[in-house]
Amino acid sequence: MKKGKFIVFDGIDGAGKTTQLDMLARRMTDDGESVYITAEPTGGDIGRLLRSALSGAEKRSECEMAVMFVLDRIAHNAEIEEKINDGVCVLCDRYYHSTLAYQGKTTDYAWVRSMNIDCPEIRKPDACIYLDLTPEQSLKRISRGRSSVEIYENLEKLTEVRDSFHSVIEDLRQTGEKIFVLNADCSREELAEEIYAIIKQL
Ligand code: TYD
């Protein structure tokens, strides 16, 4: 049986990952593909701990966060693997690119990179769609759509994370990873069209 593709979406908060992921899934389903949408942090035990820490409700060190994201991801990979082997395309909202960008910046990049990239139980995606947005645009979108602002969501932090994402992309491209950087400051329909064209080529 043909294996499913594993496609991840990443970018700073407010870039529109979730919307674009849903739009792509609908389009792929219309084309007759089986699609499974998922996200990190997951809804599993570690994922729930992560959400609580991200909201600021529970205090965790940056190193603890890095390891927890890896643990969550390893458990997630068992599920992803199963879907892919069943011929299902998996679309994931955030993946290790986020850990490298966020926790790689606040702890030790080489350590975080190795835990993710060298782990035999963490699969490399077939493609990463990186939605790029300026921190100002991001913050505008975030404050429009949400009541509570997470610990990583302020202008200074968003600027740092975006720079960090750009270094991560450069780094991972050297390993042969297919990463597509798209300007997310356009209409959702335009962006969806661009993403669909890329995925069709895969
Ligand atoms: P996000 O996709 O913004 O979830 P939601 O739309 O439900 O708020 O992700 C939550 C936060 O998690 C986001 O600020 C980035 C952070 N994060 C990391 O710091 N490292 C990671 O590895 C992942 C997957 C997310």
Nearest alpha-carbon partner for 7 in 201, 200, 149, 199: 199
Which residues line the pocket of ligand 1, CB cutoff 6 A?
13, 40-41, 54, 69, 93-94, 98-99, 102-103, 150, 152
Instruction: Say which residue the tokens 């909201």 belong to.
Output: 55
Cα-to-centroid distance, 162 and ligand 1 (Å): 13
H or E stretch covering 36: strand 35-39
What is the pLDDT averaged over residues 37-64? Answer: 97
Instruction: Please state the atom number of ligand 1 nearest to the C-alpha of residue 146.
Output: 8
Residue nearest to atom 22 of ligand 1 (CA): 99
Q: Which CATH superfamily is domain 6-201 in?
A: P-loop containing nucleotide triphosphate hydrolases (3.40.50.300)
What is the pLDDT averaged over residues 13-18? Answer: 91
User: Cis ω on the peptide bond leading into residue 41 (within 30° of 0)?
Assistant: yes
Q: Give the per-residue pLDDT at 14.
A: 87
Q: Give the per-residue pLDDT at 8.
A: 98
Q: Which long-range contacts (CB under 8 A, 24 or more apart) does 147-152 make?
A: 148/55, 150/13, 150/54, 150/55, 150/56, 151/54, 151/55, 151/56, 152/13, 152/54, 152/102
- Share above pLDDT 70 across residues of the chain, in percent, rounded to a whole number: 96
Q: Can you say how many angstroms the Cα of residue 165 is from the centroid of all Cα atoms in its chain? A: 11
CA dihedral for 65, 68, 73, 76, sign (positive or negative): negative
Cα-to-centroid distance, 40 and ligand 1 (Å): 7
Q: Give the per-residue pLDDT at 154.
A: 86
How far apart CA 122 and CA 117 sit, in angstroms, is 7
Q: Give the per-residue pLDDT at 2.
A: 93
- How confident is the model over 96-150, as pLDDT tens digits? 999 999 999 999 999 999 999 999 999 999 999 999 999 999 988 888 866 566 6
**Residue to substitute in 38, 54, 115 for testing ligand 1 pocket (most ligand atoms within 8 angstroms of CB):** 54
Cα-to-centroid distance, 93 and ligand 1 (Å): 9
**Residue to substitute in 13, 21, 37, 141 for testing ligand 1 pocket (most ligand atoms within 8 angstroms of CB):** 13
Q: Give the per-residue pLDDT at 168.
A: 98
175 or 14, greater pLDDT: 175
Tally of CA atoms within 13 A in the half-sphere of 55 that contains its CB:
12
- How confident is the model over 80-94, as pLDDT tens digits? 999 999 999 999 999
Three-state DSSP string of 86-151: CCCEEEEECCHHHHHHHHHHHCCHHHHHHHHHCCCCCCCCCEEEEEECCHHHHHHHHHHHCCCCCC
How far apart CA 2 and CA 33 sit, in angstroms, is 11
Q: What is the mean pLDDT of the chain?
A: 95
Cα-to-centroid distance, 61 and ligand 1 (Å): 16
